[in-house]
Structure formats: structure tokens, C-alpha cells
Amino acid sequence: MAEKLIAPSMLAADFGNLQRDTEMVNNSDADWFHIDVMDGHFVPNISYGMPVIQAIKKHATKPLDVHLMIEKPERYIEEFAKVGADIITVHYESTVHLHRTLTQIEDAGCKAGVVLNLTTPVSVLEDILPKCFMVLIMSINPGFGGQKFETITYDKVRKLRKMIDERGLDTRIEIDGGVTDKNIKQLVDAGADTFVAGSHVFRSNDQTKTIADLKALANS
């Protein structure tokens, strides 16, 4: 299986010390920056947009994994690419013409992924899977950090892993929400390979060590 990747979620960073926290991720074992964009419509919360992403990009030395929790993301793809997104994921539930939106992401020079809400079955991906660099399975209801991991995720990951392997694809499976050192190994065993971690990293006393521990556990 592919190398296991860790993507700390900047939603849990200290926005007053964004450069410091960006550099912490640069100097850690983390692989990507996970960037959560929320519009107050698709999810009840509002996070941040292009100027903040641009500020992170200015200091980041690792790819930006931009998770769009917004209605009709097709309206903003080029702008997110312009401010430095390397990977853009859109919710299956947020865009009517998913194939067109993924093509738009590719044309903007980014890797494209699809996100599924907690209760959206993986079977909806059957036809679009070959076009996905990555599938992000939400393990919480999106909108807020610090929520409890929902165990229905394991079964969804197992089903998706089977779909990917049967087709001989190398699509990544990313998990987002409540990921900690307590569930990451079980998620790897189910078939996931990419892990977002927000509060578990940023609320710990030694953030760099917490990232190193997650990475080691995932690759053990």
C-alpha cells in the first residue's frame, strides 16, 4: 500500500500565530497542510478563504490540501488554485456536475478529490473513481474541529478500499474528523492511507512529537 501521509488541519492552528504554526508543520514529519474552507451554507460554520490560504502558502514548504465545504465550489476553483492549492477536494453533495468540477480542478493544475459526508455511501463513487486522485471520507459531520470520531467510518473505508483495489487504481483514501493515536492504526488496517488531524495535534503539548507519533503509528 501507499505511504501513509499526515495532514495537520490548520483550522486548529493559532490564527494569531499562523506563520509560527505553519513553520511547525514545515519542520515536522507532516506531509501536507490540510486547509478547511467553510461558507456558512454547506456547513453551519464559516472558517477562512483566499487571503488566509495565501498567507499560509507564503511560508509553507509542503503541499496545500484544500477541503472545500462550500456550496457550488465550481464558482471558486481557479481562485483557490491561484492562491496556492495543490490538491482540491469538493463534496459530492455540494456540486451537481461532479465530473465537470473535477475536470476544472485538473485544468487549474491541481490534483482533484471527492469528499463524502458521513452518511453518503461509497457506492456513489463507482463511476467517478478513476478520475479521483483521492477520496476523503468524513468521519464526523463537517463544520467543526474537535468532534468525536464516528465508528461507522471503518466499514466505509473497507468498502472503498475494495472498490479501489478491484479496479487496480491508486486512489488515496483520506480520513478527516476525530483522528487520534487511538484510531489511526485501525483506519490503516481498514485501508486508509492519508490522515487529517486538527485538535489532536494542535491541542497537544508537543505538536511536532504528536505528528511524528501519528506518522510512525500509521506506517508501523
Residue 199 labeled ligand binder: yes
Q: Which residues pair with 204 in a beta bridge?
A: none
For residues 179 and 192, which CB has a smaller minimum distance to ligand DX5 in the complex? 179
Residue 146 labeled ligand binder: yes
Residue 178 labeled ligand binder: yes
Q: How far is the CB of 106 from ligand DX5 (least distance, A)?
A: 22
* Catalytic hit among 65, 176, 193, 213: 176
* Catalytic hit among 36, 39, 65, 213: 36
For residues 8 and 191, which CB has a smaller minimum distance to Zn ion in the complex? 8
What phi, psi does 174 have (nearest 5°)? -105, 145
For residues 113 and 143, which CB has a smaller minimum distance to ligand DX5 in the complex? 143
Residue 36 known to be catalytic? yes
95 binds, among Zn ion, ligand DX5, none (CB under 5 to 8 A by kind): none
Cα→Cα distances 90→17, 39, 67, 170, Å: 28, 13, 6, 19
Q: How far is the CB of 35 from ligand DX5 (least distance, A)?
A: 9
178 binds, among ligand DX5, Zn ion, none (CB under 5 to 8 A by kind): ligand DX5
73 binds, among Zn ion, ligand DX5, none (CB under 5 to 8 A by kind): none
For residues 63 and 146, which CB has a smaller minimum distance to ligand DX5 in the complex? 146
Catalytic positions, please?
Answer: 36, 176
Query: Which residue positions form the known binding site for substrate?
Result: 9, 67, 143-146, 176-178, 198-199
